[in-house]
């Protein structure tokens, strides 16, 4: 195809091109204008990187309440497992401690944002593992 033929094809059918652009803008606007919704979900506490010489002990809640904001379609499709609170214990030492829970500990799905975690902290205890066996 010659350069003049390409130019002619690129500058013809302005009406169809404008219609396609208008449709694309309407689809984009309807997708982004959907109002944000909030929901509360029970999310599991997941303890990662527990040192091999320690073990979790005592009572702590298996789940916490997580308040999530996002588009309704994203929230409807989300499951509790997607909002698991991941607590890194790689630097932990034996004893009891309060662990602060923050939204950054949750990998929320695209289009969702963790607003609040309740309770904001949990008391947990790590005991030295009995290795005499």
pLDDT 10s digits, 72-87: 888 888 876 788 899 9
User: Do 82 and 122 lie in a common domain?
Assistant: yes
| Residue 104 located in a structural domain | yes
User: Do 21 and 78 lie in a common domain?
Assistant: no
| Residue 53 located in a structural domain | yes
pLDDT 10s digits, 30-56: 766 667 889 998 999 999 998 889 998
- The structure's pTM equals 0.65
Count of structural domains, the chain: 2
Residue 42's domain comprises 36-128
User: Do 75 and 89 lie in a common domain?
Assistant: yes
Tell me which H or E stretch contains 48: strand 37-48
Residue-level length of the chain: 133
């Amino acid at each position: 195809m010659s350069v003049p033929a390409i130019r002619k094809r690129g500058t013809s059918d302005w009406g169809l091109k404008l219609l396609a652009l208008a449709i694309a803008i309407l689809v984009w606007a309807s997708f982004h204008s959907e109002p944000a919704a909030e929901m509360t979900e029970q999310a599991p506490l997941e303890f990662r990187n527990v040192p091999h010489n320690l073990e979790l002990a005592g009572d702590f809640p298996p789940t916490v309440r997580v308040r999530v904001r996002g588009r309704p379609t994203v929230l409807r499709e989300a499951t509790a497992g997607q909002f698991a609170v991941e607590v890194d214990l790689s630097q932990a030492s034996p004893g009891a401690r309060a662990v602060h829970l923050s939204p950054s500990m949750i990998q929320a799905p695209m289009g969702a944002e963790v607003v609040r975690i309740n309770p904001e902290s949990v008391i947990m205890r790590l005991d030295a593992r009995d290795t005499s066996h």
